[in-house]
Amino acid sequence: MFFATNWQSYAFLGAATLGTIILTKVPLKFFWEGIRPLIFIIILTVLLQIIFSAGGTTYWHWGIFSITSGGLINGIYVFLRFFLIICMSTVLTLTTTPLLIADAVESLMKPLLKIKVPVYEIALMLSIALRFIPTLMDETQKIMNAQRARGVNFSSGSLLKRVKSIVPILIPLFISAFNRAEDLATAMESRGYRGGDNRSKFRILKWRHADTLACMCMVAVTAGLFLLKIL
């Protein structure tokens, strides 16, 4: 998606993403739930692109700020890029379990063992991170509810005020995350975990016809993207 540079390539990727979403048969509300927490970041990034990007016809100018046709186009492209990436990430996380994702990454990275890359540890960190995302989201919601009960309003006021209201959320969230990480490390050490080398596998990955078809579709989408970029 980062190789897309024109509206034709974004339309092509949008069609491929929509087709993938339809094939998964996942309700659209799940994709909206994946986009909703990032709306503020997306809008802020788009505004920065519009205000600080130059090129094309200038519609408004004041000091270092300006709105140009090039900035508007870049802003639209950034929005589409965020939107498509979030949708495809949601497809991956809703159709593939975190443990299978970690196993797949570990399998793909095994050649790096020859140059002493800690493949097993990287896969372990990925599986733990994916596993604790829902837990941290629930913890964030609990902290926000506690702050609302104390009179904090997260949806009103100026931008600076909203940013300041996030600080009482981040501090206890970081403390909770560090405590969970320490408890998890202690539990792993007490059970004798010593890395993934020479460990047996409960889940054995096997290549199937669906994998071949998925790879062929990805190659076709990539080739079509580069063709549209060249033309």
Domain-by-domain residue ranges, the chain? 7-95, 103-191
Question: Sorting pLDDT into bands at 50, 70 and 90, what band is 209?
Answer: very high
What local confidence, expressed as pLDDT, does residue 16 receive? 92
Name the token pair of 219.
């190659």
DSSP assignment of the chain equals -TT--SHHHHHHHHHHHHHHHHHHT--HHHHHHHHGGGHHHHHHHHHHHHHH---S-EEEEETTEEEEHHHHHHHHHHHHHHHHHHHHHHHHHHHS-HHHHHHHHHHHHGGGGGGT--HHHHHHHHHHHHHHHHHHHHHHHHHHHHHHHTT--SSSS-HHHHHHHHHHHHHHHHHHHHHHHHHHHHHHHHTT---STT---SS-----HHHHHHHHHHHHHHHHHHHHHH-
What local confidence, expressed as pLDDT, does residue 215 receive? 92
pLDDT (average), residues 51-67? 77
What local confidence, expressed as pLDDT, does residue 186 receive? 92
What local confidence, expressed as pLDDT, does residue 216 receive? 94
Summarize pLDDT for 10-43 with one digit per residue, the tens: 999 999 999 999 988 888 888 888 788 788 888 8
Q: What pTM value is reported for the model?
A: 0.66
Higher pLDDT, 6 or 194: 6
Q: In this model, does residue 117 exceed pLDDT 70?
A: yes
Summarize pLDDT for 124-178 with one digit per residue, the tens: 888 888 778 888 888 888 888 888 888 777 667 666 776 677 777 888 888 888 8
Nearest to 103 by CA among 191, 196, 20: 196
What local confidence, expressed as pLDDT, does residue 100 receive? 84
pLDDT (average), residues 66-93? 87
Tell me how far apart the alpha carbons of residues 219 and 217 are, in angstroms, rounded to a whole number.
5
pLDDT (average), residues 112-134? 83
What local confidence, expressed as pLDDT, does residue 196 receive? 66
Average per-residue pLDDT in the chain?
83
Question: Sorting pLDDT into bands at 50, 70 and 90, what band is 56?
Answer: confident
